[in-house]
Structure 1
Amino acid sequence: MASFPNNYIPAFPSDRAIDERVQEFVSRFYETSDDPTKNEEWLGYFLPDAVIIIGDKSAKGTEGLRKFRQGMWEHVEQRRHTPEKVFPASFGGTGDGAYVEYMLHGSLDLITKNGEKQAISWAGRAVLKDVEGNLKYQYYEVYLHK
């Protein structure tokens, strides 16, 4: 089985202060996303009523996201996200209930269960909500370009 490098640290703007929690959140999320054994941990990145849209597929709420996540691995043996750049902004105040929104782009290398290799470019939009000091996705949408 092929092995992908283990670096999930994207570039952030250098002309402004960036919340370190966002940097850590993004890196940990993609690392978790690429591990098929971490389905429940992956769900922990989302609010119970979160919405996810990837390409033409979508889900809402914990059970919907759980099924969505299982479907992600149905035909995939291995995958490696490379989040390249993140463009964050804060909206909605500070403290509990605050929102952080970001746009990002990156690439995805994957190997299907039948051995096919694919390289996909993607861009996305995410809305994170601060819940008792922890960031969680409220909304996550990814646009794919094969």
Structure 2
Amino acid sequence: MGAVFLGFVVSFVVSSLYTGVVLATYKDQSNTTAHVLYFAHALLNGALVGALVGKMAPTSGGARIGGAVIATLGTFFGYANAVPFVILKEQSEFVLRDMLESHPFYPAKAWWQNGADGGVAWPNLLGLLVAVAAAWGIAHLVGTKRGQAHTGPQL
């Protein structure tokens, strides 16, 4: 339980940093740059959460699953939390309030839909897969390495 909670804290920090990076650079980002930043965020989030979970709970499958879920949620909310901040920066607090009152799930919809044709934004879904794979894989690697620590020759 403690490993997953600390993974949550780390994921929150990484997601907040990603939201800040998006807020600071969204005007200068191309579509490719936005996708690369999103994938880097997913990989970093998953890797840090996985390393922490693998270090604290090396043999717990439940902690690995919890870490993968936390990394996935952190990846999603890092993106979704940036949307209201960009709206607030570009428009006003009245526009943000109206958006939250009339379309409270707009940030999730913006994450899910491709802006060009309204279809599914596949890179965003693949980013979740990257976060899951990184969290699970690194937790497994760190956990098995820790469990097989070599203590030296036994004489």
Compute the TM-score of the two structures, normalised by the length of structure 2: 0.29
Point out the structure with the larger strand share.
1
Higher RCO (C-alpha under 8 Å, 6+ residues apart): 2
Point out the structure with the larger helix share.
2
Larger radius of gyration: 2
